Chains A and B, each alone.
Chain A
Amino acid sequence: MIVLQEVRKRYGEREILSGITVTLETGRVYAIAGPSGSGKTTLLQILAGYEHPTSGTVQARKTLRLEYAPQDFLLFSNLTVWNHLRLKAAARRLQERWEERAHRLLADLGIANHCRAPVGTLSGGERRRLQLAIALLPPSNVLLLDEPTSNLDAIASEQVWETLAREGAGKTMVICSHAPIPARLEPVRWQLRGGVLDVE
């Protein structure tokens, strides 16, 4: 469970988040929609611990394992797809059998045949799916996903939602997306507008 209380974020004179108070229940999926610049990414970065709120608190268990797939590509263009997964496995100290899981994730997301390709040669959609695979590889309690289907066509998007439905089972997922989130994920739908979070 993650509890946000009166979370505000201000960049200079501009207030991005205006006192958000919500509780994220364990195992639920939260779909946050909203126009561009409404603060969706900032909210995810605060949840991920990358940004600090200007005021207010974020309370979560210290043992919570959290993975964040940001909207920007945080990848090394010269490294191969497989090397990215190796790096992630190394950073999270994954034990044996992670390779098997990595191969399955790549296959599920439709990029298994790009294993040895440098990221610089991948399309935007392929990079998006690699970034998701990296976030899904280690065991986690919370998944924070920023625009997980941008750059993707309908078929690839369907592959992503299907993978998330399977891999995210039992995990808390917060998904910011302009694209509609399938009902089979049973998301709690929130709208972020003017720095305020409304339940739809």
Chain B
Amino acid sequence: MWSDGKILRSAARMMRAKAPIQFRLAAATLFVAAFALSTMGLFAWRVVQDAKRQFVTNTAVHVILVNSRSLGEQDLPRPVQWQDRQRIQEILDQSLSDAGARAWNVYQINFGITDSEGRADWVESVDPGAASLLGLAQMRDDTAYTTSSKASRLILYVPVVRQTQGGYESDRRIPMTLTRVEQIPRQAPLMALSSALNADSPNGRPLFVSYDAYRTILERAFGQPFPGVIRALERGQDFGIEPVASVAVYIPHLTDVDQVARILTAHHYNVAYALGAFQQLSSTWRTAARMAFGFILVTVVAMYLGAWLAFRSDLRRSRKDLGILRHFGFSAQEVARIYHLKFRGMFLTCAGSTALYTLVAGALVFRLPWYACVVLACAVAACVGLMSMANASAARKTAALHLPHLLRFSKEME
């Protein structure tokens, strides 16, 4: 007893056995196109991920460090001062308010402070809310942040500074206990931008504390409340220290970094930033991304067009075969189905193998996250599926042609 499915599958098997070279060529082209699409997709995703890691999500490239200001060609640059942060913020708010740039002070104490490990620490700090500059979520007041210490707690011996006629001296120290010690990641933005902050040696090292802890140290060292110290500094009183080491400007969007740097430079500020080495990075980046995307798109379209044309060529050559099947008594729908069944298995194999390849290569070779591999595998399989559907549709249209037209069209007389 014949069942319709069995009949059509059986007929399709017979048709497959007589597949001409055009069909084999079309199949080979499809496999190459599918694997190329998969590889290009994996490669593009990898490049985007690397770019994100290196640029977009890497805070270091979003930060501009302002160290000094040059007021005239003859004058030496002067270090940034207490008022500069506010001035820089105002300049950026006026000139490029859309950029959403934020300026924070990086503080320092110019003299070394001995600690319980016997090392001299160059104490530094940042404004409240700027912990991300150190790669931290927040900073605690009882914690010392270093790149090197293995101690679980530290005692800082803060010198009490006295002004004398000859300068500054200290003969008394006040211990200040920091009950916790945490590591600063070496790739933290400030560490990446300033080599001085990485200058760790057996004799001394940078040691970060919270802003409040920094204030406490200055209060203990100079024996007066912090606002008093600041007012005195603003009046120009010399305490023997320059509390502001630099101003760090954070720019959320990478494409604005160049412009912010240019604005600051135009206002005589001397800047250092990771992207400074790249000329016109944002436009170069955009152009390169567009070109790469365009190239991939053109290549993929060309490959799929090639496969599609190869299948259309096979279908055109198969017109007489379709006509003969109709002459045998199959309906136009059945003939289209037979032709579809002839290549369906091959399309399934292609979709399956490229999806598997995408998953394996994506995970093992391109080191992409699993969801990226799954998305790409589905996309490649969908592309193959779409082509299969397009071919089935073309086969339906061809099989429904007027029978003498089908039979006459073939150049092949069997």
Q: Which A residues are closer than 8 A to B by beta carbons?
A: 45, 50-51, 68, 70, 72-79, 83, 86-96, 119-120, 134, 138
Known A79-B14, A83-B14, A87-B14; judge A95-B325 contact (CB<8 A).
no
Q: Does B120 contact A (CB under 8 A)?
A: no
Count of interface residues, chain B, beta-carbon cutoff 8 Å: 22
Complex: chain B residue closest to A76, CB-CB: B18
Task: Report B379-414 residues with CB < 8 Å from chain A CB.
Answer: 403-404, 407, 413-414
- Say whether A90 contacts B2, CB under 8 Å: yes
- Say whether B404 contacts A51, CB under 8 Å: yes
B-chain residues with CB within 8 Å of residue A86 when the two chains form the complex: 10, 14
- Say whether B328 contacts A91, CB under 8 Å: yes
Complex: chain A residue closest to B328, CB-CB: A91
- Say whether A73 contacts B325, CB under 8 Å: no
Docked pose: A78 CA to B14 CA in angstroms: 9
Docked pose: A89 CA to B330 CA in angstroms: 10
Interface string of B12-24 (1 = CB under 8 A from A): 0010011000000
B250 to chain A, nearest CB (A): 72
- Say whether A138 contacts B329, CB under 8 Å: yes
Interface centre among B10, B18, B413 (most CB of A within 10 A): B18
Complex: chain A residue closest to B329, CB-CB: A91
Known A73-B414, A74-B407, A96-B1; judge A91-B18 contact (CB<8 A).
no
Complex: chain B residue closest to A95, CB-CB: B1
B-chain residues with CB within 8 Å of residue A94 when the two chains form the complex: 2
B-chain residues with CB within 8 Å of residue A75 when the two chains form the complex: 324, 414
A-chain residues with CB within 8 Å of residue B329 when the two chains form the complex: 88, 91-92, 138
Complex: chain A residue closest to B13, CB-CB: A83
- Say whether B323 contacts A74, CB under 8 Å: yes
A-B pairs with the 3 shortest C-beta distances? A91-B329, A78-B18, A90-B7
Task: Report B319-344 residues with CB < 8 Å from chain A CB.
Answer: 321, 323-325, 327-330, 334
- Say whether A77 contacts B414, CB under 8 Å: yes
Complex: chain B residue closest to A90, CB-CB: B7
Docked pose: A138 CA to B414 CA in angstroms: 23
Q: Does B11 contact A (CB under 8 A)?
A: yes
- Say whether B330 contacts A91, CB under 8 Å: yes
B-chain residues with CB within 8 Å of residue A73 when the two chains form the complex: 413-414
Tell me if B's interface is mostly helix, strand, loop or mixed.
helix
Complex: chain A residue closest to B412, CB-CB: A77
- Say whether B328 contacts A88, CB under 8 Å: yes
Q: A78-B17, A89-B2 are in contact. List 12 more A-B contacts (CB 8 A).
A: A74-B324, A74-B407, A74-B414, A76-B414, A77-B18, A79-B18, A87-B11, A87-B14, A88-B329, A90-B2, A90-B11, A91-B334
Task: Report B323-380 residues with CB < 8 Å from chain A CB.
Answer: 323-325, 327-330, 334
A sample of 11 cross-chain residue pairs with beta-carbon separation below 8 angstroms, ordered by A number, consists of: A73-B413, A73-B414, A75-B414, A76-B414, A79-B18, A88-B329, A91-B7, A91-B325, A91-B330, A93-B2, A138-B329
Docked pose: A120 CA to B414 CA in angstroms: 8
A-chain residues with CB within 8 Å of residue B10 when the two chains form the complex: 86, 90
- Say whether B18 contacts A74, CB under 8 Å: no
Docked pose: A79 CA to B403 CA in angstroms: 21
- Say whether B11 contacts A119, CB under 8 Å: no
Complex: chain A residue closest to B6, CB-CB: A90
A150 to chain B, nearest CB (A): 15
- Say whether A76 contacts B324, CB under 8 Å: yes
Docked pose: A120 CA to B412 CA in angstroms: 12
A1 to chain B, nearest CB (A): 23
A-chain residues with CB within 8 Å of residue B414 when the two chains form the complex: 73-77, 119-120
Docked pose: A76 CA to B20 CA in angstroms: 12
- Say whether B17 contacts A79, CB under 8 Å: yes
Complex: chain A residue closest to B2, CB-CB: A93
Docked pose: A92 CA to B334 CA in angstroms: 12
A30 to chain B, nearest CB (A): 22
Interface centre among A45, A76, A90 (most CB of B within 10 A): A90
- Say whether B325 contacts A87, CB under 8 Å: yes
Docked pose: A76 CA to B14 CA in angstroms: 10
B331 to chain A, nearest CB (A): 9
B-chain residues with CB within 8 Å of residue A96 when the two chains form the complex: 1
Complex: chain B residue closest to A118, CB-CB: B18
A-chain residues with CB within 8 Å of residue B18 when the two chains form the complex: 76-79
Docked pose: A68 CA to B404 CA in angstroms: 13
Docked pose: A62 CA to B7 CA in angstroms: 24
- Say whether A72 contacts B403, CB under 8 Å: no
B-chain residues with CB within 8 Å of residue A92 when the two chains form the complex: 329
Docked pose: A122 CA to B404 CA in angstroms: 25
B-chain residues with CB within 8 Å of residue A119 when the two chains form the complex: 414
